[in-house]
């Protein structure tokens, strides 16, 4: 069945979503970083490694994503892979320069959890609606589901759980609890607003 091309996103619409979506994600990540909070997926692993090594989140995030682009090319196609590479690179660069653009002298951890989780969730929602991801374990989960018939949701849940368990030995227990709340906020935003059939435009 042919799909109505009137629902396609235009190039400038994709570009705006790419810039704003990655800006929201990078700002939310910066807020989490300044309050020693954690997110799930590849970004969470990069944050955790940055806490341990004191290396730049942006550099770690960029390097961690590199092995997954081959899987993205096979699983999701050229367009998705290129957009995802651009998005992950922009998040890495923006997060690297965020401290030069904004600095929080006093940031309440509970407020940071709510606002940071909201920013990351809405940023990801923008990207998802324009057929763009942020690479990493999401691609791996989809690949394993196709190749070995494993449930992608369970794979991602298992990886996020492993990251949070590892974080127990790195960040304070109260920040770990807030991180779980933040992850729930992010996932709820996506789950509520990105349902099949609710949003039909593509690019």
* pLDDT tens digits, 153-171: 677 778 888 888 999 999 9
Residue 201 confidence (pLDDT) above 70: no
For residue 121, pLDDT over 50 is answered with yes
String of DSSP letters for the chain: -PPPGGGBPPHHHHHHHHHHHHHHHHHHHHHHHHTT---SHHHHHHHHHHHHH---HHHHHHHHHGGGHHHHHHHH-HHHHHHHHHHHHHHHHHHHHHHHH---SS--HHHHHHHHHHHHHHHHHHHHHTT----THHHHHHHHHHHH---HHHHHHHHHHHHHHHHTTTS-HHHHHHHHHHHHHHHHHHHHH--TTT---B-
Q: What is the pLDDT of residues 49-70, one digit of tens each?
A: 999 999 988 899 889 988 888 8
Beta-carbon contacts of residue 94 (< 8 Å; ≥ 6 apart)? 22, 23, 26, 27, 58
Output the pLDDT for position 2.
41
Report whether pLDDT(196) > 80.
Answer: no
Adjacent-strand bridge partners of 8: 202
* Residue 53 pLDDT: 93
Residue boundaries of the structural domains of the chain = 11-193
Q: Average pLDDT over the chain, rounded to whole?
A: 83
Q: Given this model, what pLDDT does residue 202 score? A: 46
Query: Which of 33-37, 39-43, 57-61, 136-140 shows the lowest mean pLDDT across its residues?
Result: 136-140
Q: Tell if the pTM clears 0.85, that is, is over it.
A: no
User: Are 44 and 165 a contacting pair, CB within 8 Å?
Assistant: no
Torsion-angle region of residue 136: left (phi > 0), alpha (psi -120 to 50) or beta?
A: left
Most confident residue range from 86-90, 135-139, 140-144: 86-90
- Position 3 scores a pLDDT of 45
pLDDT of 178 higher than 60: yes
User: Looking at residue 176, what is its pLDDT?
Assistant: 93
């Amino acid at each position: 069945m042919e799909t109505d091309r009137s629902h396609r996103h235009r190039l400038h619409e994709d570009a705006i979503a790419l810039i704003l979506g990655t800006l929201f994600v990078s700002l939310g990540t910066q807020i989490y970083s300044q309050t020693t909070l954690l997110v799930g997926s590849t970004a969470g692993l990069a944050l955790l490694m940055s806490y341990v090594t004191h290396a730049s989140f942006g550099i770690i995030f960029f390097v961690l994503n590199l092995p997954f682009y081959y899987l993205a090319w096979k699983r999701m196609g050229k367009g998705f892979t290129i957009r995802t590479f651009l998005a992950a690179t922009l998040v890495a660069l923006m997060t690297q320069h965020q401290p030069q653009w904004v600095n929080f002298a006093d940031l309440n951890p509970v407020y940071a959890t709510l606002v940071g989780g909201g920013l990351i969730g809405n940023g990801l929602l923008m990207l998802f609606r324009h057929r763009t991801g942020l690479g990493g374990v999401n691609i791996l989960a989809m690949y394993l589901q196709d190749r070995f018939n494993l449930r992608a949701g369970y794979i991602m849940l298992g990886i996020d759980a492993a990251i949070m368990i590892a974080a127990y030995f790195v960040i304070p227990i109260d920040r770990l609890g807030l991180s779980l709340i933040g992850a729930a906020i992010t996932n709820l935003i996506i789950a509520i607003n990105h349902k099949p059939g609710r949003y039909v435009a593509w690019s």
